[in-house]
Structure 1
Amino acid sequence: MTIAKSVALFVLAAVAEIGGAWLVWQGWREHRGLWWIAAGVLALGAYGFVATFQPDPHFGRILAAYGGIFVAGSLVWGMIADGFRPDRWDILGAAVCLAGVAVIMYAPRNAS
């Protein structure tokens, strides 16, 4: 498994899932309409497929690690799309999550 490929897939998954959720939010909460919601639903569906391309074959491991990517990515998305300013605790929490991703996905394992 190449780490670069795995990280790229995690980033793509985050863009699809967080972007899709944001589009639904905009369509519903910000009254931008059904087209925004429909685009969000399509993006969320795409997210479901992106994870299947991860080189690791274990669903539980992929989704557990992706949780950390989602946390950090959500903060970044909020900064870019909504002007959110994370505080030091947000940043520390995201760093802890990303450390968890590194341990779950990229720690050396015995082949079994």
Structure 2
Amino acid sequence: MTAFAYIAAALAEIAGCFAFWAWLRLDKPVWWLAPGMASLALFAYLLTLVDADHAGRTYAAYGGVYIVAALLWLWAIEGARPDRWDVIGALLCLGGAAIILFGPRGAAA
């Protein structure tokens, strides 16, 4: 469930933010904001589905997933292929997200 929640949340957040980008930067009509705001609300809800004891840790781990999703959006939707530095950075972020989310937690943590 965690992977689904993170991936779906990333898509919802990027789509919602892109609606605002399109309205303000690409001269799309203001009605683009309605689905954008709904998408951002869905994003927030989806992060509550992650099985974690603390919201901050959930959000921190989500950051790595978001970065990868944003680069996939860049490539698939905007038509700009990520370069090797994008890929290396994204892999480092995913590694950090995995450590945050799945690292062992003891009484002293």
TM-score for both structures, normalised by structure 1: 0.89
The secondary structure found in structure 2 opposite 1:82 is coil
Match of 2:42 in 1: 46
Matched, 1:110 2:106: yes
Q: Distance in 1 between matches of 2:5 and 2:106?
A: 24
Match of 1:16 in 2: 12
Unmatched tracts of structure 1, length 5 or more = none
Q: Distance in 1 between matches of 2:32 and 2:92?
A: 33
1:93 alignment partner AA: G
- Following TM superposition, the consecutive aligned residue runs of length 4 or more in structure 1 with deviations greater than 4 angstroms are none
Matched, 1:33 2:29: yes
Shift of residue 111 of structure 1?
7.0
CA-to-aligned-CA distance 1:47-72 (integer Å, 9 cap, x gap): 11111111112111000011111111
1:67 to 63, 70, 78: 63
Which structure carries more helix by proportion? 1
The total of aligned residue pairs comes to 108
CA-to-aligned-CA distance 1:78-100 (integer Å, 9 cap, x gap): 11110011111110000000001
Q: Distance in 1 between matches of 2:64 and 2:103?
A: 15
Percent identity between the two aligned chains: 38
Q: Give the alignment's Cα RMSD to 1 decimal.
A: 1.5
Q: Distance in 2 between matches of 1:37 and 1:31?
A: 12
